[in-house]
């Protein structure tokens, strides 16, 4: 009985998380399901990047609703550039911290980052080529991946793997 109950609970939890990610417009809508890491600069990066991903979702939604204006196309391209630039800044920051900590997660963690950058680049090139249908699945995938990465991989690396060397890095 207990097992069934907890299974249902986690199903509800997942459905809830998905609903939040799909409906959110601003950081405050999702902040409750994003883990705090406890390193100020990292948490700030997480907040800013999340907002870019939410902004992108709004543009994608507008495009899917056939609001294909140049404004939306330009804005979409601008957000992709922000996402790529900011991901790079953030991933370099995490790399520096992991090196200082001598984190055993370093390799695995960097692979995840590289995969994510590749995913954003692929989506961006689809977007630039006007493949809007292909991009529709994107509404969730960037934000979904991002939040999941923070809650699982960043959490494991910087919260569960916390050590004294971390104090030396910003």
Binding site for Fe ion (CB under 5 A): 94, 154
In Å, how far from its chain's centre is CA 127? 18
Output the smallest distance, CB 158 to Fe ion, in A. 8
**Pick 58 or 105: Cβ nearer Fe ion:** 105
CB of 94 to Fe ion, least distance (A): 5
Q: Which is nearer to Fe ion, 96 or 128 (CB)?
A: 96
Helices (H), the chain: 2-23, 27-30, 40-64, 70-101, 106-128, 132-135, 138-149
Q: How far is the CB of 109 from Fe ion (least distance, A)?
A: 6
Nearest to 33 by CA among 49, 53, 19: 19
Q: In the complex with Fe ion, which residue's Cβ is closer, 55 or 94? A: 94
Separation CA 91–CA 97 (nearest Å): 10
Q: What is the largest CA-CA distance in the chain?
A: 56
Residue 64: Cβ-neighbour burial (10 angstroms; 0-12, 13-18, 19+): middle
Q: Considering beta carbons, is residue 55 or 154 the nearer one to Fe ion?
A: 154
C-beta of 49: minimal distance to Fe ion in Å?
8
Nearer to Fe ion, 75 or 100 (CB): 100
We find the least distance from the C-beta atom of residue 93 to Fe ion, in angstroms, to be 8
Cα–Cα distances (Å) from 28 to 54, 67, 85, 129, 169, in that order, read 11, 26, 23, 33, 28
């Amino acid at each position: 009985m207990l097992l069934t109950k907890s299974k249902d609970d986690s199903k509800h939890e997942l459905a809830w998380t998905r609903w939040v990610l799909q409906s959110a417009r601003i950081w405050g809508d999702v902040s409750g399901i994003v883990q705090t890491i406890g390193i100020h600069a990292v948490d700030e990066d997480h907040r800013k990047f999340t907002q870019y991903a939410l902004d992108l979702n709004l543009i994608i939604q507008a495009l899917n609703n056939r609001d294909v204006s140049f404004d939306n196309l330009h804005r979409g391209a601008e957000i992709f550039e922000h996402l790529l630039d900011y991901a790079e800044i953030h991933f370099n920051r995490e790399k520096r911290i992991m090196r200082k900590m001598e984190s055993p997660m370093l390799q695995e963690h960097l692979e995840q980052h590289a995969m994510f950058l590749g995913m954003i680049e692929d989506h961006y090139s689809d977007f630039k080529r006007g493949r809007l249908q292909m991009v529709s699945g994107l509404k969730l995938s960037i934000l979904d991946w991002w939040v999941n990465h923070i809650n699982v991989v960043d959490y494991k690396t910087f919260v569960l793997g916390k050590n004294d060397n971390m104090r030396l890095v910003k």
